[in-house]
Chains A and B, each alone.
Chain A
Amino acid sequence: MSGSRSKSFVLWTLVTIALITLSAPTVVVLGASFTGGNIITFPPDGLSLRWYARISQASDLRNAFLRTLQVATVCTIVAIPVGTLAGIALAKYAVRFEKTIQIYLLLPFTIPLIGSGIGLMLIFGKAGILGQLWPVGIACCVINLPFMIWAVTASATGLDPDLELAAANCGAPPLQVFFSVTLPAVMPGVITGSLLMFILALNEFLVSLLLVDARIVTLPVLIYNSIRSIITPDLAAISVVFIACSAVAIFLLDRLVGLDIFLKSK
């Protein structure tokens, strides 16, 4: 029994360090957003909602946020079928030149974001589609696509080929096998992947910076640009509102599909 005690001690020590590291800056920023002073400090310099009042006045922030939601939606909608199919293909079948294809599909991660941004700006510019939001969504999808693919392949390890064979033997046509056996098996990966895609698209600024103009600026780009002059507590307040919105979204998602069942061990 002492074995399991030392096990949970080691596990919990590492996890606690991880948790502190992950959340410390968020907690500080959360607290700092209620400061009454002019600069971000912790503990806050008196309690006040003045920075929230200030951002609630700013319609450009709200519009930018709505645009960001559009971008993230486009990104996720494209990523789900594309990444799921590719992930299943890689996990299920013996594909020739598999390693080469993998390396190719990892290009979004091996190309530095600035390179991707410049490249996409030139390509989209040539195609005459800059100045719209959907190409930004496509861009966010491309640069994060490996997450979607890998999340699916990772969960496809739970995919039981015998089950698919059994379904096929019982006369199920291929699409039905796919939708009623294969897809449910990789669903945890699809959920994790699309959640990640959506959240990353909500926060992408470096590639978007090169693809948007002032009329269609997204929230992360707006924040990135305003940060380049002076960092004031309204940015902390924006972050907190952002966190609150996502918390609500995660809560709803949890209610709808139940987040934890996808990560529970079987």
Chain B
Amino acid sequence: MRAARTAYPLKWRIMDALEGVAAAIWPARFKRATPYLMLLPAVLLVGLLVLGLIQIADASLRTLDTTTFQFSDDYSIANFRRALTEPLFLVVAQRSLIAALIVTAVTLIFAFPYAYLMVRTRSPRLRKFLLIALFLPFFIGQVVRAYGWLIILGNQGMVNEALGLVGVAPMRLIYNYPAVLFGLVQYMLPFAVLMLAPALTAIPEELEAAAGSLGANWVRIFIHVVLPLARPGFIGAGVVVLTLSLTDFAVPAILGGGSQDFIANAIYDQFFRTSDQGLGATLALMLVALGSILVGLVFALFGAGTLAMGRSRA
């Protein structure tokens, strides 16, 4: 037994058996369908959300009767009309859209050098430190994190006290639009770095060295070598940050001081405060549409991101 295993290890036998099973269920002639089979589990899993969306779409066509708090049996587009005509929703939609764009740009600007340093540094210790610094903020949760910011940026916070020492009157640094943008950038930065880093690891360092030896300075190397090669990573990171900030609920609620609502906050209000699930569902659907259109636009303008590289050579 023992001798047999060394001659032909168990692992191989298992692999052989698996290959056999795989070949039986999925013969080579199905090969063209392989990628679709690989996508299937993900498509099904996300399908759970689609099932939810169908429920939401149904709710969006029903209006609330506030004398019975039941929803109408028949369908109407009244909720959509409200969502499109009430100025409040236009204000919050505009606010979230602009914020999402600004936050995406700023986050990428900070995420790139972070990821670059993390990938290129020769010191494993620094690399680990940078990596851990990315993950730690997740663990204090958004609300406690916001409390931390209040202590730092509040009227009696550390920054204002420091400014007071040089004679500057206390300023409102928190609970306004810039604070929300700042909070979102801080929240999104780790995601962006983690999306960018793998794309940067794929860029051979020799390429930069070669460009340098040909006399290009580092700015030109970045612009002409690193950034184009890292483009898939940028698109991935950008799309993630864009969609997550567009649909964010917690940061505007906590750092906005109550008057900087995003669309998701308006949706929250409808679902939880006024019990109007119909209108909430309508706003949610429109937000999904807006987000998907934006993503489609990004793909149309810049290509579908991370995929290009591996395949372009195939």
Contacts and interface: CB of A to CB of B under 8 A. Distances in A.
Complex A–B touching at CB under 8 A: yes
B236 A22 contact: no
A19 B23 CA distance: 51
Interface in A1-39: 3-4, 6-7, 10-12, 14-15, 17-19, 21-26, 28-29, 32
Nearest to B218: A7
Contacts of A41: 151
Given A22-B136, A25-B137, A103-B292, A115 B127 contact: no
Contacts of A266: 201-202, 204-205
Which label, helix, strand, loop or mixed, suits the secondary structure of the A interface?
helix
Question: Which of A29, A115, A247 gathers most chain B CB within 10 Å?
Answer: A115
Contacts of B247: 109-113
Nearest to A96: B36
Contacts of A215: none
Interface centre among B138, B233, B280 (most CB of A within 10 A): B138
Chain B residues touching A, range = 35 or more
A3 B246 CA distance: 38
8 contacts: A89-B34, A102-B295, A114-B249, A119-B53, A154-B199, A158-B201, A161-B311, A243-B139
Contacts of A10: 113
A40 B49 CA distance: 39
B89 interface: no
A110 B292 contact: yes
B190 A22 contact: yes
Nearest to A258: B124
Interface string B182-215: 1001100111001111111111110000000000
A164 B38 CA distance: 17
A192 interface: yes
A200 B189 CA distance: 14
A260 B131 contact: yes
User: Of A19, A90, A203, A220, which is in contact with the most chain B CB atoms at under 10 Å from its CB?
Assistant: A90
B263 interface: yes
Most buried by A among B145, B185, B194, B307: B307
B147 A263 contact: no
Given A28-B148, A29-B148, A113-B247, A119 B56 contact: yes
B49 A188 contact: no
A101 interface: yes
A18 B138 contact: no
A28 B150 CA distance: 10
B75 interface: no
B79 to A, nearest CB: 14
Nearest to A84: B38
Interface in A241-266: 242-243, 246-247, 250, 254, 259-260, 262-266
A114 B186 contact: no
Given A25-B140, A145-B46, A147-B191, A15 B113 contact: yes
A69 interface: no
Interface stretch (B1-9, B66-74, B283-291): B283-291
Nearest to A7: B218
B167 interface: no
B310 A91 contact: yes
B250 interface: yes
Given A14-B113, A85-B42, A22 B134 contact: yes
A153 interface: yes
Closest 4 interchain pairs by CB? A119-B52, A25-B148, A110-B291, A86-B42
Given A23-B137, A188-B198, A195-B135, 7 more contacts: A24-B148, A42-B151, A111-B53, A157-B232, A160-B313, A206-B250, A231-B147
